[in-house]
Structure 1
Amino acid sequence: MTTNSTAPAKARILVVDDTPDNLFLMSALLEDTYEVMTAECGAQALEMVHSLTPPALILLDIMMPEMDGYEVMRRLRGNPITAGIPVIFLTALTSIAEEQFGLDLGAVDYITKPISPPVVLARVNTHLERSSNARHLKALSEKLGRYLAPQVYKSLFDGSREAEIRTQRKKLTVFFSDIKDFTASTAKWQPEEITFLLNSYFSEMSKIAQDYGGTLDKFIGDAMVIFFGDPDTLGVKEDALQCVKMAMAMQRRMSELQILWREMGSDKTFQVRMGINTGFCDVGNFGSDIRMDYTIIGSEVNLAARLEQSAAPGGILLSRETYGLVRDEIVATELQPINVKGFADPVSSFAVREVAQDESVARKVFQWERLGMRVLIDLDRLPSAERAAAAVELREMADRLH
């Protein structure tokens, strides 16, 4: 009985040297273990590196005509696509200054000629393993980063924040949103429809939150919790303004999403309500030594949640504190004080009103429809690089109509 097994792909190594004998020697030494490519000059090496299958490691001679190894190294490190490829210099230069110069340019190692085959094989294997481990850790960190707010992820990896139980009291602006009557509205929907619309909605809203600098705290069912003021802050007033502008952008995007969903054949839709409050909260890492959660707590957080529950579908409700910070730039109507759970006294609230100018500037979905014609443009999904070509196509369509 035989079994079919696929051997693991060999790591690809590029050897760059202007001496044919050296290329032959290095190829013979490495080809049993690795896939070897060779280049006789720096220009040829750079061309090969930018191919569809770049090497996993480069063995680079320094003394070459026209373009020496140092210049090749500079160009590799100057290009984000090739900057991460490990490079080992192979050279007859033996001074400490030359070796230090090459390492300062970004080389991972330095092997002098005449080469020792065991040394070359050992160092190539070591650096390939290191490079593989580095890629694995980077991919893992990026996956783990999706479970954290971008600001928290960045602060952990740049060392400005420690993974320890610690909180502080700060004045934050807190945002809550949820989908009006989500459970009742989706009771008869298919699970696939709920998953698609909800994930689509969360993705779009998260992107807007990131654009405005909000810290995405958590998803709770169909609800979102976002706050401004930690770990990054623009100041209490500007944080509040950014939060309200974010909420307005989210509501505009919801109107556009409903158009897009209908165009995709879905007759399902929903409306979102939002509440915003500003006040002192405890913010930081809560939990245990086993698991922590970076979040916020306090009565001001609860008030934001209560305002959201009292908001009209498609509306944004502000507390008096938040409105006082943004009133110079945001138009809102004061409502009758409302009684909310957990607060003894009625709470003042202000309903945000869209400004016509802002609405037209921010519009990103355009739809025209009449008998025999349907045009839909979503600027968020149309890459900037393709908009000129799209404009040409629209003009061509217009010419055909004449």
Structure 2
Amino acid sequence: MATSYLTLKAPSEHYRQIIVMRSMVIFTLAITASLASRFGMAHLPLTPILVALLLLTVANGLSILRLRHPKSVTATELTAQLFIDIIAVAAIAYFTGGATNPFLSYLLVPVCIAAATLPSKHAWAVSAVGIILYGLLLRWYVPLQWLAPPGGGHAHHTSGPNWHVLGMWLNFALSAILISFFVVRMASAVRVQQDELNRRREEDLRDEQLLAVATQAAGTAHELGTPLSTMKVLLADLRQDAQARTAFGDDLDELYRQVNHCADILTSLRARSDLSRLHEPAALPAREYCRTLLDHWQLLRPESRSEIHISDTLTEQQVRFHATIEQAIINVLNNAADASPDHLSINVSSNADHLVWQVNDRGEGLPEAALRALGKTFFSSKPDGMGLGLFLTHASIQRFGGTVTLAPRPEGGTTTTIKLPLDA
């Protein structure tokens, strides 16, 4: 099962824990070797043991310095740390009885850590190195008399194998393989589940923001009704006044049209809030739907110069879109028109079971902060913008299985691509 490298904790935290564990191992081995030598419990070769512990301490110190570097810790670095532990323990075991040394079972600890925190290929690499070094210590090591098997002699000096020690190695190999196989899979499943939970938390937060916006919009729409009615009455009176008509005739007509348009928007908003229309939208010919939407947008933005191409493949296809999808697409078109009012390219086509809108503008492009904030929070690159457009667009389209992507154009500007299932 292939999964991405997702850890429940930051890799630097794993790195830090490995350093702490190694420090404990160094301290434990140093105290054990010191006591065993002082009280004559075993004739240990202290010099190579102390050299190995000293090198391990130096590696620990360098690892601590690495943590101070701001660069992120990689899976390869974690794997290298575990290799250091395995090689150091195997080197000490070589001078203290090889595979007959019970401390050699510590090699299973790096294997477990690798299985729980590293990608599959790194975990298997750690497991393989541990098994190979353990196997080599069955044959090559410096024997200790007090660790020799009963009956005298040493495993590598007798004619037959030491089945007890060989069995220990087989048990280690089997345990390492099972851990690398099953624990890697279980850890990967937990990571994927955690990633899914994080994604759902982000969606819940986004939905809470949308609910807050919707509540405010409903209240605002209700409050706008009265002043708009008053403005319509006053403008109607002014249009009838001969003196005002002479001085501001064209301006009054334009204001009257705009106020009527605002009133129509509120009426349309109330109509779209009907639950039966929201949850059971009617199926429409795809080309007709796109043409109607673009005609409506061009009425809203008559100053925008745009090249529009609607693919002929949409003639025989139908779409069933939630009412909020239309406003989301209009938001994208408005953003592109704001960025590049003199030249806009709009291409509408189909791809398998998806409707694809591609909007190209020649504006200054979006900053990196806007790309990172897409669909996650309110963001606006305009001085007087509220940051709702991109957020609401992304939320509406993603809710019905679509995607919104923004990419810089080589010649300047931004390409916004919307992909929507034909039945959204």
TM range (shorter): under 0.3
Q: Which structure's residues are more often helix, by fraction?
A: 2
Q: TM-score, normalised by structure 2?
A: 0.22
